[in-house]
Structure 1
Amino acid sequence: MEQRVLPCTACHGKQGRATPEGYFPRIAGKPAGYLYNQLRHFRDGKRRYPPMAYLLSYLSDDYLAEIARHFSELQLPYAAPAPASVGAALLARGEQLVRSGDTARELPACKQCHGARLTGVAPFVPSLLGLSQDYLSSQLGAWRTGQRHASEPDCMAQVARRMALADVQAVAAWLAAQPVPGGGQAAADFTQAPPLDCGSLNVRWPPAGLAERAQ
């Protein structure tokens, strides 16, 4: 599998560690179910990026699951975060939204879904840390404008559409400036039920074919 996924590393960096430019996210160590969902969404057109669609067009669900499991098992060190590029007030707003949410806008705290350490929850919820400000803001913006979609009900789309543009910038800036704790390991489970119904949590993992080969 390491040889078969070399085309992935051309954009996502050696072993999927990401690249300094930050436009291609780290995939090493992300929860396997999350990676599997994203691969299916690129293949099926829910996420639109022609190079990804081209690579995945003819791959089966089971093969995508094998790719996802391969990268999820790569526990590699994270680079130090880049210094914050915005002022203290915007960073404070970003931290507030991440840790506490905003009841006036009906925004749950990011940590309610992405874990207390923001390193994700296995197998379907990704870490929010170790990503660039450009990448984070672009993905929130894509959900906000309907350019990115997830399995229905699409809880991230609901959250992003409640965010002001300044909130998107604030959250992305604060998250990008944080170090990654504990090697980025995702939590094994939610400490409490997520505040929104998310279709991405209801996908079968592992898929039937992958589960049978693991036995």
Structure 2
Amino acid sequence: MAVVKFLRTLSFPAFALCALAAFNAQAQLAQAPDFASKAHDPDGMAVRTLACTTCHGAQGKSTSSGYFPRLAGKPAGYLYNQLLNFRDGRRAYPTMSYLLENLTDEYLREIAEHFAVLEVPYPAPLPASESASVLEHGRKLVFEGDAARSLPACVQCHGKAMTGVAPFVPGLLGLPRDYLNGQLGAWQSGKRHAQQPDCMAAIARQMQPEDVSAVSAWLAAQPVPDGGKPVAAHAQALPMRCGGVEVAK
């Protein structure tokens, strides 16, 4: 019943993407009851995260649709912050907000920690479809930024290998290009917010459409090194204050 209630909240395109996965997940649990037993699942995570994996893929490894990002292996603090942001209205996606609106901070923290420790292989990236000049523009913004426009390099916050920094900064590799474009666009338009000061909103608003296209094209074409594990700490001070990194309320 919980999954049916969840599906009723989806728009038709999202419903089409998630419905089959949801009922497959229910069937798997029914055919293998031990999977959700105390012996095999003492924290009940197989059931508690069923709504998550319905759209984000088994073990949160994402899907080929491009609409739902990977959860597995992302830093726990980052995942926790995003759950809070959806629940508390800083991020706008009705299905996520509905699912999370009555869940406590501690419950959300446990879900974040569950996905953070999962080690699931990343698929190989799709071949880049953009020209070499576009990809080079994206690479330069990732590694060098643009000081004239107050654009810091992506690696200054997301780590030299772009696999993220524990516990609050996500990796940017292994994400679908459509998702990267969508999130940068959401920050530019004010539809996505984070804890104040919202550093990514400030950065995204300094980017031109060609910057967004180039960065997303380059990132999406890169293989993910070292299993995508975030590094333990930043090598140097962040280029600007960032509320989602300083605190997780």
Percent of residue pairs identical: 62
Of 86, 109, 118, which aligns to 2:162? 118
Alpha-carbon distance between aligned partners in 1 of 2:229 and 2:46, rounded to the nearest angstrom: 21
Report the TM-score when normalising by structure 1.
0.94
What corresponds to 1:13 in structure 2?
A: 57
Instruction: Tell me if 1:67 matches 2:102.
Output: no
Instruction: Tell me if 1:58 matches 2:102.
Output: yes
Of 41, 44, 48, which aligns to 1:4? 48
Alpha-carbon distance between aligned partners in 2 of 1:122 and 1:8, rounded to the nearest angstrom: 22
- Secondary structure of the structure 1 residue equivalent to 2:166: coil
What corresponds to 1:134 in structure 2?
A: 178
Alpha-carbon distance between aligned partners in 1 of 2:59 and 2:189, rounded to the nearest angstrom: 32
Residue segments in structure 2 that go unaligned for 5+ positions in a row: 1-44
Deviation at 1:30, TM superposition (A): 0.2
Amino acid in structure 2 at the alignment position of 1:80: A
- Secondary structure of the structure 1 residue equivalent to 2:179: helix
Alpha-carbon distance between aligned partners in 2 of 1:92 and 1:135, rounded to the nearest angstrom: 20
Q: RMSD of the alignment, in Å?
A: 0.9
Residue segments in structure 1 that go unaligned for 5+ positions in a row: 208-215
- Secondary structure of the structure 2 residue equivalent to 1:3: helix
What corresponds to 1:213 in structure 2?
A: none
Instruction: Tell me if 1:168 matches 2:179.
Output: no
- Secondary structure of the structure 2 residue equivalent to 1:23: coil
Amino acid in structure 2 at the alignment position of 1:200: G
Amino acid in structure 2 at the alignment position of 1:99: F
Alpha-carbon distance between aligned partners in 1 of 2:225 and 2:246, rounded to the nearest angstrom: 28
CA distances 1:117-168 after superposition (whole Å, capped 9, x unpaired): 0000000000000001100011011111111000000000010000001000
Alpha-carbon distance between aligned partners in 2 of 1:129 and 1:78, rounded to the nearest angstrom: 10
Deviation at 1:75, TM superposition (A): 1.0
Alpha-carbon distance between aligned partners in 2 of 1:57 and 1:178, rounded to the nearest angstrom: 36
What corresponds to 1:211 in structure 2?
A: none
CA distances 1:32-51 after superposition (whole Å, capped 9, x unpaired): 00000000000011100011
Deviation at 1:26, TM superposition (A): 0.3
Is the radius of gyration larger for structure 1 or structure 2?
2
Alpha-carbon distance between aligned partners in 2 of 1:148 and 1:85, rounded to the nearest angstrom: 27
Structure 1 ranges of 4+ moved more than 2 A: none
Amino acid in structure 2 at the alignment position of 1:55: L
What corresponds to 2:79 in structure 1?
A: 35
Greater relative contact order, per chain length (Cα 8 Å cut-off, separation 6+): 1
Deviation at 1:98, TM superposition (A): 0.1
Instruction: Tell me if 1:49 matches 2:90.
Output: no
Count of aligned pairs between the two proteins: 205
Deviation at 1:65, TM superposition (A): 0.1
